[in-house]
Amino acid sequence: MAQPMIQKPNGTRDVIPSQMYKWNTVEAIVKAQAEAYGFKEIRFPTFEDTGLFVRSVGDTTDVVQKEMYSVTATERTGEQGTSYTLRPEGTAGTMRALIENGLLNEGLPQKLFYVISCFRHEKPQAGRLREFHQFGVEMAGTQDPRADAEVIALGKSILDMAGLKNITLNINSIGCPECRAKYQQALRDYFKPHLDKMCDTCHSRYEKNPLRLLDCKSEICSEIAGDAPVILDYLCEECGTHFESLKKYLTAMGIEFTVNPRIVRGLDYYTKTVFEFISNDIGSQGTVCGGGRYDGLIGQLSGKPCPALGFGMGLERLILTMENQGADFADEETCDIYIGSMGEAGAVKAMQLCRELRADGVRAECDVVGRSVRAQMKYADKIGAKFSVMIGDSELESGTAKLKDMQGKSEPADITLGEDFGSVFNAMLIAKQLEAEGLDGALTELL
């Protein structure tokens, strides 16, 4: 009896080749825009010491309390008792890498970006997976509100380049530790008479981190939080000035925004500026990009204060929003030429030509199965080959073969099988690309 099929874990997904063009599109956009703003790529481990996330993300957050994938090292590793966690987000790992590799001793600000997979044990739904992919940027070494505006502008540039419409930017300030302490007391005073109606999680948050009370997903708790005090009424002079300057810079850059005093973000390390880009086209998981400032995080991890800020953008949500809005993706890359063969000598020549073409960056394929001529042509059509050529004894004897345009109306053209095969084919391929871009007749004229 056959063993049951092993399937992918719940909350994960496969990205099959026919869908990769969408991922290639968004990854090319985010990388190009990040580099245009002066950000450089960083890579760091998929798992970290659990303590890194407890200290940075916060032990009162849902991420640390409910969603992390952690394992304790066994005696065989020589690290018995050490707990490691698959990264639930990218900021903590980036900050740890900045500190450990001495990047903060180089020119400031340090501007970094990453494209990574993250892991959270959440209930899977549209736009929310247990393994998801995130593009993020981090800037360390400046507390100037112009840096906040620049990071937000980068997020906006990416969404614009992706062709997204109806995206709303919400901004808020959650203050510094000094003014937030007064606000937290105001929240405790407000929520205290309602605690008996609130969930158990909120009871814990009430003492440890009352700001989290505003972020509860419970319908009853959310309704109670609707009339809670607003953080903007408690900002100190410095935080208030910082927020007003941010609004001035965003306005100067033509970036529209809405001040939403209920945004607090889900992680404890945020200070001052927080922001979200929101879409109404992906259901309840409408935040396409979110971030803010975390001036105390590096000091908390290293003992040496250094202001920082950044954002995270879920690539699955970005693609889902683009799909729902009918945005354009770059065309899927397909085979440039399929070189079919008849007989052993033809097969040898096909492999030789494929090798030479691939060295020139041409996507070339030949038969490696032993198909008939008819089956080879069906396969060439199935893989979307732009051109095809069939080589047999007669073609080898004459030194020429018929090059067929698989996707156009041009008649087959003679092409030599000599040393200039690659250069001639490349010229035809360029002509076909020009024709596809609207330069009618370019391919026909060349052939």
Asked whether residue 424 is assigned to any structural domain, the reply reads: yes
Q: Per-residue confidence at 103, pLDDT binned at 50, 70, 90?
A: very high
Cis status, amide bond into 193, omega within 30 of 0: no
Asked whether residue 213 is assigned to any structural domain, the reply reads: no
Tell me: do 269 and 319 sit in the same domain: yes
Tell me: do 399 and 359 sit in the same domain: yes
Out of 299, 325, 351, a domain closes at 325
**Chain segment 31-83, per-residue pLDDT in tens:** 999 999 999 999 999 999 999 999 888 776 778 878 999 998 776 656 667 89
pLDDT value of position 319? 96
Walk across the sheet containing 83-86 and list its strands.
Answer: 47-49, 83-86, 70-72
**Number of structural domains, the chain?**
2
* Residues forming beta bridges with residue 292, ordered by sequence position: 274, 310
Q: What is the CATH number of the domain that holds 300?
A: 3.30.930.10
Please, what sign has the CA dihedral across residues 137, 139, 143, 144? Answer: negative
**CA nearest to 168, candidates 152, 189, 192, 186:** 152
Tell me: do 314 and 353 sit in the same domain: no
Tell me: do 146 and 51 sit in the same domain: yes
Tell me: do 258 and 380 sit in the same domain: no
Residue 332 to residues 10, 17, 25, 429: CA-CA distances in angstroms? 28, 9, 9, 16
Asked whether residue 344 is assigned to any structural domain, the reply reads: yes
Instruction: Write phi, then psi, for 143 (nearest 5 degrees).
Output: -110, 10
Residue 352 belongs to what domain range?
A: 337-446
* CB-CB neighbours of 308 under 10 Å: 27
- Asked if residue 236 has pLDDT above 60, the reply is yes
Tell me: do 277 and 344 sit in the same domain: no
DSSP string computed for 198-254:
S-HHHHHHHHH-GGGGGG---HHHHHHHTTS--GGGG--HHHHHHHHHHHHHHHHTT
- Asked if residue 383 has pLDDT above 70, the reply is yes
> 23 near 314, Cβ under 8 Å?
no
Out of 325, 359, 394, a domain closes at 325
- Asked if residue 326 has pLDDT above 50, the reply is yes
Q: Which residue has the tokens 């995080």?
A: 297
With H, G, I as helix, E, B as strand and everything else as coil, classify residue 166.
coil
Backbone Cα Rg of the chain: 28
Tell me: do 300 and 350 sit in the same domain: no
Asked whether residue 226 is assigned to any structural domain, the reply reads: no
CA distance 109 to 437: 42
Tell me: do 52 and 115 sit in the same domain: yes
Q: What is the CATH number of the domain that holds 364?
A: 3.40.50.800
Asked whether residue 259 is assigned to any structural domain, the reply reads: yes
Beta strands in 63-124 (DSSP E): 70-72, 83-86, 110-119
Asked whether residue 396 is assigned to any structural domain, the reply reads: yes
pLDDT value of position 100? 97
Q: Per-residue confidence at 444, pLDDT binned at 50, 70, 90?
A: very low
Q: Per-residue confidence at 442, pLDDT binned at 50, 70, 90?
A: very low
Tell me: do 317 and 352 sit in the same domain: no
Out of 297, 325, 353, a domain closes at 325
With H, G, I as helix, E, B as strand and everything else as coil, classify residue 190.
helix
Tell me: do 79 and 143 sit in the same domain: yes
Asked whether residue 276 is assigned to any structural domain, the reply reads: yes
Beta strands in 97-184 (DSSP E): 110-119, 131-140, 168-173
Tell me: do 143 and 274 sit in the same domain: yes
Tell me: do 122 and 165 sit in the same domain: yes
Angle of CA points 399, 403, 405, to nearest 5°: 175
Q: Per-residue confidence at 127, pLDDT binned at 50, 70, 90?
A: confident
74-83 burial string, b = 16+ CB within 10 Å, else e?
A: eeeeeeeeee
Among 16-30, 68-82, 378-392, whose mean pLDDT is lowest? 68-82
**Chain segment 163-219, per-residue pLDDT in tens:** 999 999 999 999 998 998 899 899 999 999 999 999 988 888 888 888 878 878 788
**CA nearest to 177, candidates 228, 225, 238:** 238
**CA nearest to 173, candidates 292, 269, 11:** 292
**Chain segment 260-307, per-residue pLDDT in tens:** 998 887 667 889 999 999 997 766 558 999 999 999 999 999 999 999
Asked whether residue 428 is assigned to any structural domain, the reply reads: yes
CA distance 340 to 372: 9
Query: Of the ranges 141-155, 409-423, 431-445, which is most confident?
Result: 141-155
Q: Per-residue confidence at 447, pLDDT binned at 50, 70, 90?
A: very low
- Asked if residue 411 has pLDDT above 90, the reply is no
